Amino acid sequence: MWQLYQFPLCPFSRKVRLLLGEKGVGYELVREHPWERRDEFLDMNPAGQTPVVVDTQRGGQPLIDSLAICEYFEETVDKAAMINGTAANRAEVRRLVAWFDNHFYRDVTGLLLHERVVKRVAHRAAPDAKGLRDAMKNAVGHLDYTDYLLDHRNWLAGATMSLADFAAAAQISVADYLGGIDWKGHEQTARWYRGLKSRPSFRPLLAERMEMVGPPPAHYDNVDF
Amino acid sequence: MWQLYQFPLCPFSRKVRLLLGEKGVGYELVREHPWERRDEFLDMNPAGQTPVVVDTQRGGQPLIDSLAICEYFEETVDKAAMINGTAANRAEVRRLVAWFDNHFYRDVTGLLLHERVVKRVAHRAAPDAKGLRDAMKNAVGHLDYTDYLLDHRNWLAGATMSLADFAAAAQISVADYLGGIDWKGHEQTARWYRGLKSRPSFRPLLAERMEMVGPPPAHYDNVDF
C-alpha cells in the first residue's frame, strides 16, 4: 500500500494526488504539517517537505520531491500518460510544471499559505494585509498567462491533458481555497478549471477542509462557479 | 546548432553543460545576465532565468528550465545516461537534483550570488557580511550531508555517476568560486569533487572567469586542491 504524507492545502501533494487519481493508483493519506519539523519526518526527508510517498509493503527508500514522485509513477504505471508526446512536448510539460511549482508558488500560493496558515498555526500571528494583497495581485498576472496559453491550446502544455494542468490546478485550487483568486476577467482559465474540477480525480480534494483555517469561499468546490 | 543562454556562474547552466559535455553534445554559449531582465530574453522565457537552450537550425520552442532541459537530452541522446537505473534509482537521482537545485541554491549559492554578484553589478552595493557568513555556515551543513551520502555510496545517488553529481558539483563549484566553501573536514566530498574536476566535461567551466567579480580562490581550478 502506498502512503502519502501531506496536508490538505499542500499544492505539491495535490499535484501528485491528481496524477495518482487519473492513473487509478490507490493510496492512504498520512497527515503531516511540515512547519512542525517533526523529527521522524525529517529523518525520512531531510528537506522537510511534503509530499513524501512510502511503500508500506515493499519498503525501500521513500519517494521524495513532488516532480520525482510524478516521474516515478509516470515510468511505472502505463495508464494515463501525463508527461506525453514528443521529447519537445515533454519538455514543454516539464517547463510548465516548473513554472507553477516555482513561480506561481513563490508569487501566490506560498505567500497565501505563509500568511493564512503558517503564521496562524505556528506563530499565532495575524496575516499581513500587504502580503495578501501582493499574492492576489500576482495571481492576476499568472491567470493572464494561463488565459494566454489557453487561447492557443486546449490544455496548458498542448493538445492533451498533462501534468502541467495538474501542477497549475493544484496551485490555483489552494490559492482559491485561501481567497486569493479573483475569477473576473479570466474566462479561459475558468472554463479550463471547471473541466478539471468535474473530474473524479479532483472531487476528493475539493471536499477536504483544513480545519485550522477558515472555510473556503462559497464557489470553491462548485463545479459551475 | 544548439545555443545555450547562460552566464559563467549560473549553477543551473553548469549542470546542463556538464550533462551536454558528458553526452558529447556541442553547443554555443550566449552570454545572458538574467538580472538585467532584457526584453528579448523575457519574450523567450517569461520566467526570466538561465539556462535557455535554442536550436538555431530547426527552430521550435526554446528549451526552458534546467531540469526539463536535462530530461530532454537524456531522452534524445543515448550516450552517457545520467538519470539511470531502476525507477527507484531514477527517483533518487531526481530527489537529489531537486535537493541541490532548490535547497543548496537557497541556502548557499543563491545567497552568495546575490551578495557578491547581483548586488555589486545591478545595485552597485557592497555585500552584506551576515549574508556571506550565513552562506558559508549553511555550506558546512550541506557538505556534511554529501559526506554522509558518500560514506555509503560511490556517487551521490548510488553506484554510478548521475545527474545528481552534476547538480551538486554545479552548485558547489559556483559557491567555491565565490569563496563560500571551506574544504577542511570534508574529505569524502573533496575526493569526489576532485574526481569530477578532472573530467573533460568540467575543465572548460573551471577555466572561465566572471570579470565583474574578483578572481576565485587559488584552489578553485586546481584538480589536486
Question: What number is the average pLDDT over the span A171-181?
Answer: 98
pLDDT score, position A109: 98
Highest mean pLDDT among A213-217, B71-75, B123-127: B71-75
pLDDT score, position B37: 96
Question: What number is the average pLDDT over the span B63-91?
Answer: 97
pLDDT score, position A80: 97
pLDDT score, position B124: 86
A87-207, which class in CATH? mainly alpha
pLDDT score, position A195: 96
Look at the domain B87-198 and name its fold.
Answer: Glutathione S-transferase Yfyf (Class Pi); Chain A, domain 2 (1.20.1050)
Question: What ipTM was assigned to the predicted interfaces of this complex?
Answer: 0.96
pLDDT score, position A86: 97
- Tell me the per-residue pLDDT of A103-136, one tens digit each, with 9 for 90 and over: 999 999 999 999 999 998 888 889 999 999 999 9
pLDDT score, position A211: 87
Name the minimum distance, in Å, from the CA of B219 to any CA of chain A.
30
Question: What number is the average pLDDT over the span B67-79?
Answer: 98
Q: Which residues in chain B are closer than 8 Å to A87, comparing Cβ atoms?
A: 72, 75-76
Name the minimum distance, in Å, from the CA of B70 to any CA of chain A.
9
pLDDT score, position B18: 98
Lookup: cell for B123:
545595485
Domain boundaries, chain A: 2-76, 87-207
Is the pLDDT score of B121 beyond 90?
Answer: no
pLDDT score, position B223: 87
Q: Is B48 exposed, middle or buried (0-12, 13-18, 19+ CB in 10 A)?
A: middle
Name the minimum distance, in Å, from the CA of A222 to any CA of chain B.
32
pLDDT score, position B106: 97
Q: Is the peptide bond before A51 cis (omega within 30 degrees of 0)?
A: yes
**Residue length, chain B?**
225
- Tell me the per-residue pLDDT of B132-165, one tens digit each, with 9 for 90 and over: 999 999 999 999 999 999 999 999 999 999 999 9
Distance CA B217, CA B208 (A): 13
Is the pLDDT score of B60 beyond 90?
Answer: no
- Tell me the per-residue pLDDT of A82-96, one tens digit each, with 9 for 90 and over: 999 999 999 999 999
Is the pLDDT score of A173 beyond 90?
Answer: yes
Distance CA A132, CA A141 (A): 15
- Tell me the per-residue pLDDT of B160-187, one tens digit each, with 9 for 90 and over: 999 999 999 999 999 999 999 999 999 9
Is the pLDDT score of A205 beyond 90?
Answer: yes
Name the minimum distance, in Å, from the CA of B224 to any CA of chain A.
31
Return the CATH architecture of domain A2-76: 3-Layer(aba) Sandwich (3.40)
- Tell me the per-residue pLDDT of B201-213, one tens digit each, with 9 for 90 and over: 999 999 999 988 8
Please report the residues numbered 27 through 46 in chain A whose beta carbons come closer than 8 angstroms to any beta carbon of chain B: 46
Question: What number is the average pLDDT over the span A33-50?
Answer: 96
One-character DSSP codes across chain A: -EEEEE-TT-HHHHHHHHHHHHHT--EEEEE--GGG--HHHHHH-TT--S-EEEETTT--SPEESHHHHHHHHHHH--SS-SS-SSHHHHHHHHHHHHIIIIIIIIIIIHHHHIIIIIHHHHH--PPPHHHHHHHHHHHHHHHHHHHHHHHH-SBTTBSS--HHHHHHHHHHHHHHHTT----TT-HHHHHHHHHHHTSTTTHHHHH---TTSPPPPTTTT-TT-
Mean pLDDT (chain B, rounded): 96
The answer to whether B67 contacts A95, with C-beta atoms less than 8 Å apart, is no
Q: Mutate which of A71, A95, A107, A143 to test chain B, going by most B C-beta atoms within 10 A?
A: A95
Q: Mutate which of A50, A71, A90, A143 to test chain B, going by most B C-beta atoms within 10 A?
A: A71
pLDDT score, position A223: 87
Facing residue for A71 by CB, picked from B46, B94, B99? B94
pLDDT score, position B210: 92
Q: Is A93 exposed, middle or buried (0-12, 13-18, 19+ CB in 10 A)?
A: buried
pLDDT score, position B225: 80
Confidence band for B59, pLDDT divided at 50, 70 and 90 = confident
Mean pLDDT (chain A, rounded): 96
Question: What number is the average pLDDT over the span B61-69?
Answer: 97
Distance CA A176, CA A219 (A): 9
Greater confidence, A72 or B211?
Answer: A72
